Amino acid sequence: MTLHHVRRGSGSPLLLVHGLGAGSQSWAPILDRLAAEREVIAVDLPGFGQSPPLAGEVSIATLTDAVAGFIDEQGLGAVSTAGQSMGGRIVLELARRGLGGDTVALDPGGFWTDREVAVFSGTLRPSIRLVGALQAALPALVGNPVSRSALLAQFSARPWALSAETVLPDLRGLATAPSTGAAMDALTRGPKQAGAPAGTLPGRATIGWGRRDLVTLPRQAQRAVAAFPDAQLHWFERCGHFPQWDAPAEAARLILDRTS
């Protein structure tokens, strides 16, 4: 499968992998900052954005296989990678397999306890259904700071401060992407993220986490670092699950400084 992708900028390549939502558009809040210094390649995972769904099983392993195939197809070799949420888990899995170069994972999934993943599933699935039911009214709802705050309380530490243009694509994608349901099943019913022993990663690894993340809880960060002992942990203060929303300048700077 050839994944749909966008390329911007020039310089050392940087591959971006999104989480549940709008596909490559999820990176729009920081894409210009990244492309000012690097050649940025933002992919649409299978069944998100403009990429068709996988023909077979949807799992973290098969989604990672698709990205690995894209890297090989595009001749990207030891490309630096950055991912957020599910995409953060995928770039860590690439690094665990020895693929790519430097890695930045923002609020990655897969480091929860059984109870935490049950809460994640039990709260996010109703949110997705609600957003789906509100599709026609979404532009008006996210255009109002009060209703935007109510809709995004699980995702952002400062939803009232966000623009409608920032959040609307991800909200629409969360409800309408063909692979949202299958990817949720993979995250919540599949295996947890395996780690990588010290000295086995292909490049530097950085794990960024929002102090106020209500999706992948901050206490999961220590489990992630325990699983990837070579990784450096960076905390985003006053930040929820989407650093590119709540702290765009800081998120972009972290990605640029920790990849080459």
CB count in 10 Å sphere of residue 10: 12
Tell me how far apart the alpha carbons of residues 78 and 46 are, in angstroms, rounded to a whole number: 22
Task: Report in angstroms the alpha-carbon separations of 144 from 93, 110, 138, 148, 159.
Answer: 38, 33, 10, 6, 10
> Is the pTM for the entire model greater than 0.85?
yes
Given a cut of 80, is residue 1 above it in pLDDT? Answer: no
Tell me how far apart the alpha carbons of residues 172 and 82 are, in angstroms, rounded to a whole number: 23
Q: What is the pLDDT of residues 130-146, one digit of tens each?
A: 999 999 999 999 999 99
Task: Report in angstroms the alpha-carbon separations of 227 from 15, 102, 112, 207.
Answer: 23, 17, 12, 11
Residue range 229-234: mean pLDDT, rounded: 98
Given a cut of 90, is residue 252 above it in pLDDT? Answer: yes
From the list 256, 247, 203, 257, the residue with the least C-alpha distance to 107 is: 247
Q: What is the pLDDT of residues 63-121, one digit of tens each?
A: 999 999 999 999 999 999 999 999 999 999 999 999 999 999 999 999 999 999 999 99
Residues sharing a CB contact under 8 Å with residue 188, sequence separation 6 or more, in sequence order: 117, 118, 120, 121
Tell me how far apart the alpha carbons of residues 104 and 239 are, in angstroms, rounded to a whole number: 17
Q: What is the pLDDT of residues 8-17, one digit of tens each?
A: 999 999 999 9
Q: What is the mean pLDDT of the chain?
A: 97
What pLDDT is stored for residue 219 in this prediction?
98
Residue range 174-186: mean pLDDT, rounded: 95
